[in-house]
Amino acid sequence: MTQAATVLAVTAHPGDFVWRAGGALALATARGGRAVIACLSFGERGESASLWRAGKTLDEVKATRRAEAEDAAAALGADVRFFDAGDYPLVATRELDTQLIDLYRELQPDVVLTHSPYDPYNVDHGIAGDIARKTRILAQAAGVPGPGEVLGAPPVFCFEPHQSEVCNFNPNVLLDITAVWEKKLTAMRSLPAQKHLVEYYSDLGRRRGVQAKRNSGPNLGLPVDVYAEAYERVYPQVTGELS
């Protein structure tokens, strides 16, 4: 993805697009492309423990998480759209399906990022990923109503779950995000409700960076300190050349 492209990330909660895909989103905008996040909930019940412990009301928690997500998206140069569908549990509804079909057709994304199907720690993540993949298929169908042209076939990449070893996650794509690492770091620091995760995801970025170097060989000229994000392709890569 070296050309200017439109990237759509569909996430269950605000932190997800930051920890797991912040680098990909920042790369897209740094290259003159567009990054849009469909944030299906505010993570108000499941990923805002520190705010509940501080005695905040539901509306206050949602408002805080919205503001944090907007700050994080701004740091990445991305636009975030909130669907306020509720979390813990996130529920797939026909209304949400329709909203996402409309979004796919409006944006015509070149690349789609979302959750992998299985996460035994967080039921919302798999549901959000299922919704993203299902509505991408529906948006491709001429018989399904919605605005604009039907969707083409943008590749779908699942981003990395929190503990990938137990999520059946196969990191078969490593994205070099070194050039935008500082932007991802700024975005991660925009989420004080989950500040305990900044170091964890910094370590993960370094570890995936080491693996990116190991798998690319010296002739690609990757810098010494590489940061990377791991992804798993859902559909086959189409290419005219094996490389």
Of 12 and 193, nearer to Zn ion (C-beta) is 12
For 196, the token pair is 């305990």
For Zn ion, give the closer residue by CB, 16 or 44. 16
Which listed range, 7-15, 24-32, 106-114, 212-220, lies at the site for Zn ion (CB under 5 A)? 7-15
**What are the Cα distances from residue 236, in Å, to 7, 175, 222?**
18, 17, 26
- Identity of the residue numbered 82: F
**Could you give the CA distance from residue 128 to residue 117 in angstroms, rounded to a whole number?**
9
Stretch that binds Zn ion, among 15-23, 78-86, 103-111, 220-228 (CB under 5 A): 15-23
Give residues with Cβ within 8 angstroms of 47, minimum separation 6. 13, 14, 15, 65, 87, 193, 194
The count of chain residues that interact with Zn ion, using the rule CB under 5 A, is 3
Q: 16 vs 176, which CB is nearer to Zn ion?
A: 16
CA distance 70 to 191: 10
Query: Binding to Zn ion by residue 20, rule CB under 5 A?
Result: no
Q: Does 16 bind Zn ion (CB under 5 A)?
A: yes
Q: Is residue 45 involved in binding Zn ion (CB under 5 A)? A: no
Give the nearest distance from C-beta 122 to Zn ion in angstroms: 6
- The structure tokens 């060989």 sit at 217
Closest CB to Zn ion among residues 161, 209: 161
Out of 7, 9, 10, 13, name the contact with Zn ion by CB under 5 A: 13
Q: Single out the residue of 154, 170, 167 nearest to residue 211, CA to CA.
A: 170
Interaction site with Zn ion (CB under 5 A): 12-13, 16
